[in-house]
Amino acid sequence: MNIWHPATIQTCLSFLRGLATWLGKHGLVRAPEHYGLCLEEYERHEYAQRDKSWTAHGIDADALIAEACHFDMHVGASLRLMHAFGLRAKESVQFRPFAHVVSFADTGLPADAQKADHYV
C-alpha cells in the first residue's frame, strides 16, 4: 500500500528527472510502473471543487495589486506577472525578463500566428 500522495510522487519523480537531465543521464528515472506503482497510486484524480479566482470572489485585482505595490514593490511586481500571464507564484518569483522574454522569431511559431513582437 502506498502512503504517498499522488501529487507528491509526481513531484519527486519530476525533480529526479530534472536532476538526471542536468547530470546528462537522460532516461535514468523510469516510469512509475517500473518502481512497482500501479496507476491508482501515482495518477492524480483531484479537480477544483470551487472557483478560487479573485473575480469569482468579487475582488478587484487591479486595486489589490496597486495596494500591494505601495506596500512592497517586489510583491506587487510578482502579482502583476501572475495576473497578466497566468503564472503561479513560484513562476512569477523565478521570472527573469532578460531570459524569459523572447522575440517572435525565437518562438518557433508559424509566421501567421504572430500577435506580438515579444513573447514570454
Coil, strand or helix: which one is 120? coil
pLDDT block averages, 10 residues each, the chain of length 120: 74 90 91 83 74 87 94 94 89 85 86 84
Are residues 113 and 69 part of one domain? Answer: yes
Domain annotation covers residue 21 = yes
State the Cα–Cα distance between residues 58 and 2, nearest whole angstrom. Answer: 40
Cell numbers given for 58 = 468579487
pTM: 0.53
State the Cα–Cα distance between residues 24 and 9, nearest whole angstrom. Answer: 22
Q: Any residues with CB less than 8 A from the CB of 78 and at least 6 apart, and which?
A: 89, 92, 93
Are residues 38 and 63 part of one domain? Answer: no
Domain annotation covers residue 49 = no
State the Cα–Cα distance between residues 86 and 61, nearest whole angstrom. Answer: 13
Domains in the chain, number: 2
Are residues 82 and 111 part of one domain? Answer: yes
Are residues 36 and 69 part of one domain? Answer: no
Domain annotation covers residue 30 = yes
Cell numbers given for 116 = 506580438
Query: Do the beta carbons of residue 120 and residue 91 sit within 8 Å?
Result: no
Cell numbers given for 113 = 500566428
Predicted confidence at residue 79, as pLDDT, reads: 94
Are residues 27 and 64 part of one domain? Answer: no
Are residues 71 and 30 part of one domain? Answer: no
Predicted confidence at residue 74, as pLDDT, reads: 93
Category of 116 on φ-ψ map: left (φ > 0), alpha (ψ -120 to 50) or beta: beta
Are residues 77 and 37 part of one domain? Answer: no
Domain annotation covers residue 68 = yes
Predicted confidence at residue 69, as pLDDT, reads: 94
CA nearest neighbour of 64 among 76, 73, 81 = 76
Question: Which residues form the domain of 103?
Answer: 59-119
Are residues 73 and 103 part of one domain? Answer: yes
